[in-house]
Structure 1
């Protein structure tokens, strides 16, 4: 059951983003699996990937053998930067995580994601 905290760069402005990737299986055990990316509630009001709803969703999908990816938007948790007023940089942060999850060269020890659910 591999689980890792990873830092990636936002495609918007290279802001460092914290993500947590987890799966029930390694790539050796299972070549493909569905994936889910879980975002958290608004950061300035206390939202982050350690939110109880985010954790409950992550546990549910992991039990269904999904590759789960929880993320901290800019300014939350150990992600760098500041939360914006417009949400546009955060949208790019989310898309950066999508790009990362679907790039077969990045999550080498996890099953390849063959379909994706977005929890925003």
Structure 2
């Protein structure tokens, strides 16, 4: 399966961005961008959760791209505390849309720090109509910019996340569930830690189920 995944370089605001890309053979296939965890804690686009998410989109016939933020792997530039990373994500989405101008749906997904960048991108790009935030950290990053959240999506987290006390997730759930017209689903992986080290299969199962349900509408 991996032989169809291309290594590409995308022109970004700080130079070129290293990325992996899979192009669906299906016309008007949905597209998805998958974002990496924190670069300063060893995060790359080859993180296990990012790769599994990428593959789950592939298996569901998406054209999908995962990207190394500036300063990671072969990407030019250096870490920019989130601002530059958001600009990188926007450049990657631009590229993905140009390659798939007839896409039927536009999804964004991110793991940990990547979920913050994904949600910030969501607020700026009205064409994004679904999101998956994996292991968000509302105790570290302020997610209050999500009011109102423009589209429905999935927040998935480990019940035993050692980096995020559960009450922060519960709070975020309350805040987002009071919004009219959108449905943000919160899904916990019972024994999952922040990295889903022993629960990847369970994580993939939930991702797959959500993607299938939401693409069936189109």
Q: Which bracket does the TM-score occupy, shorter chain normalised? A: 0.7 to 0.9
SS in 2 for 1:33: coil
Runs of 4+ in 1 over 4 A off after TM superposition: none
How far off its partner does 1:79 sit? 0.5
Per the normalisation by structure 1, the TM-score is: 0.81
Q: Which residue of 85, 92, 100 corresponds with 1:97?
A: 92
Structure 2, unaligned stretches of length 5 or more?
111-218
Q: Which residue of 5, 8, 15 corresponds with 2:7?
A: 5
Structure whose residues are more often helix by fraction: 2
The aligned counterpart of 1:60 is: 56
Distance 2:86 2:95 in 1: 14
Calculate the aligned-residue CA RMSD, in Å: 1.8
Structure whose residues are more often strand by fraction: 1
Number of paired residues? 108
Q: Which residue of 69, 72, 79 corresponds with 1:73?
A: 69
* 1:18-37 to 2 correspondences below 5 Å: 18-23=18-23, 25-26=24-25, 30-37=26-33
Provide, for residues 7-38 of structure 1, a one-character-per-residue CA deviation record: whole Å limited to 9, x for no partner.
1111x34x110111114x43xxx211011100
State the structure with more CA Rg: 2
Distance 1:111 1:93 in 2: 19
Per the normalisation by structure 2, the TM-score is: 0.46
Question: Relative CO higher for 1 or 2, CA cutoff 8 Å, sep ≥ 6?
Answer: 1
Structure 1, unaligned stretches of length 5 or more?
none
The aligned counterpart of 2:45 is: 49
Distance 1:5 1:118 in 2: 20
